[in-house]
Chains A and B, each alone.
Chain A
């Protein structure tokens, strides 16, 4: 259940019930239609979405489970509190909801009139594939999450991640260089 964090100062998180999921009463399953279903405290939810509260900072904690109307059923405090097969199901659903393939190669970059066009090779699950994407306002849409970790957002709403700049090949890095800061 909740972490006991400090005995002295009263915390807001103690005063407000966040509705954490009780893993013992929860049963996830995969539907033939391709969705995640949940049976929780006796109630059936045929299609639940799993939404990250902090997709970048804590991708596996504070996962909000909601029904198709967007009504929250419970918050899964930490993915690791589920046992392995249950966790696998939730992870698969997360992968289906959050799609952010890694950039493995930057073939070309073209910069004009406020748009920067990237010709990329990206890889999520499965084989690498070619992608052409346009980024507007690089200042905002290419973000350094750390010195080495980059995320980019294109005009369509796609996301691409470079988990480690150092691991990227030198040519690609050089092409990206002007847009990172």
Chain B
């Protein structure tokens, strides 16, 4: 729809109005700037292991904008940080998680976002259950669940999608195909032509979209959300994008990635094309970019400062939130630790 050169494909018409597109750009830039900042912090030992969303902002933001934070649920993997923030998770809260904080990293009540989790694809059966349960409870909520193309190889992926089809769960499986699972290329991941095709095997709709085109992502996600909300059951969206960075801050892609492929991917940058398009409409220029960048940097900085200043974990937090009523032996272990660390 929105092509890499910032023009609209002939005859295409997105649901995204210009004002909304500016809003999308703001979030995409916020995401990119946040990545850059926390990677720098991580290099100074002031942030945890981090997987950036760089290059995938159109997927991350376009999908998040299609769900309603007041009633829909978001189930992330880990690379969609700014989607969860868009869905109402305060940036300082998710930042506190990367700083190893405990209480300050608790998702506030009322925010319909589940915690990020590391065990690839394990969130998917849970998301299916959540969507199924919401339907059983008579709510008009939809679940959007994220997964990578790597995650689609796990058994949990298959089981979750199959069950979702059977129980007709109101869920959107949003698969970001960023071409890489650490060093494993998409070609090694599956012999399928398209991950979206798999939906047919589960009896529901699958669509492939240009994951670097925020308009196309938004439209596809809106269709899927509407379908789910209206009782049409699950959908699978494959957003074809590119991981324009390392897997995470411990990774070194020079060992496995062809720099030519990477350079080629950069020409399809999801943010630049929106800026070009808006510039064509007279809604964007260098001055506006500088001003917005400055503003977003400050917003991010504010959240990061807040997170850094939040209460540090205490030794006894080792025992926090494991049992509602801890067994006596666990209480004794806790007392032993507290005694010894002189808390």
Do A and B make up one complex?
A: no
Chain B interface residues (CB < 8 Å from chain A): none
Chain A interface residues (CB < 8 Å from chain B): none
